[in-house]
Amino acid sequence: MRILISPAKKMNVDTDTLSPAGLPVFLEETEEILKWMRTLGFQEAKELWGCNEKIAKLNFERISAMELRRGLTPVLLSYEGIQYQYMAPSVFEEGQYEYVQEHLRILSGFYGILKPMDGVTPYRLEMQAKAGPQGKKDLYDFWGDRPYREALDESRILINLASKEYAKCIEKYLGSQDVYLTCVFGEYADGKVRQKGTYAKMARGEMVRFLAENRVESPQGLKDFDRLGYRFCGELSKEDTYVFIKQPSGQDETSFRA
């Protein structure tokens, strides 16, 4: 079983806490992307990143001096977004790093796909960015089925905790033998499940922590997730979609577990 998550835009450098276990599997492809990015002018790069002047200047300086093989941070300690704050890998206990290294994979526009302990450097490049290395029309075209093939293990079970932008690079290549299960975290009102971005990111991070703490090895184990007020809702779930509903205060916790 493999768990898929998105990266975060904000990144940190930490070369002291833990040493990387290795380098990203598609580092040669990343070098091609970096080479292409270095051909861009400042305004072109700013448009590619879709960010303000300050962030663009920081990242433009980064790509000019970027080292892909030295001074690296384990990816799980590098990303600083909400999802990673709630995952809280810096306080993982014994065995949890080993679990995520085996089961967790992080999709990336710059690196393709990453193991949690791969060494990375801060970058900015979203998967949906209109980047054209090697004459490709975008990053989905550039990466092709590489992330999908690398994500699979012998079980062919993929647990999707990624955003639509990143899940897209996997879903296009799914085969009939694959089990692909998406988790939805939302609130139920007026007969609909409404998923709010920030709360969903929090829940995805908590889900990874839950799976690592409990060494979950099958989709069935996801149903026991009960953090941040969410409970599995069998009534709203499908074979390929597990729905977790945030319980209103005072509501019976078992009411959505059918």
Is the torsion defined by CA of 155, 160, 161, 165 positive or negative?
positive
pLDDT at 258: 41
- Predicted confidence band of residue 153 (pLDDT cuts 50, 70, 90): very high
Q: What share of the chain is helix, strand, coil (3-state, %, to 5)?
A: 40, 20, 45
Instruction: Report the distance separating Cα 90 and Cα 15, nearest Å.
Output: 13
In terms of DSSP bridges, do strands 230-232 and 241-246 run parallel, antiparallel, or are they unpaired?
antiparallel
Does the pLDDT of residue 189 top 90, yes or no? no
192: left (phi over 0), alpha (psi -120 to 50) or beta: beta
Does the pLDDT of residue 15 top 60, yes or no? yes
- 223-242 pLDDT tens trace: 999 999 999 999 999 999 99
Does the pLDDT of residue 197 top 90, yes or no? no
pLDDT at 94: 86
For residue 74, give the nearest of 48, 101, 41, 112 by alpha carbon: 101
Contact 234, 257 (CB under 8 A): yes
Weakest-pLDDT range from 31-40, 172-181, 182-191, 202-211: 182-191
pLDDT at 249: 60
Contact 64, 38 (CB under 8 A): yes
Beta strands in 32-176 (DSSP E): 73-74, 104-108, 112-114, 119-120, 157-160
pLDDT at 192: 86
Q: Percent of the chain beyond pLDDT 90?
A: 86
pTM of the model: 0.93
The whole-number average pLDDT for the span 34-39 is 96
pLDDT at 89: 93
- 177-188 pLDDT tens trace: 999 999 999 998
Does the pLDDT of residue 193 top 50, yes or no? yes
Mean pLDDT (the chain, rounded): 93
Instruction: Report the distance separating Cα 229 and Cα 246, nearest Å.
Output: 5
- 96-128 pLDDT tens trace: 999 999 999 999 999 999 999 999 999 999 999
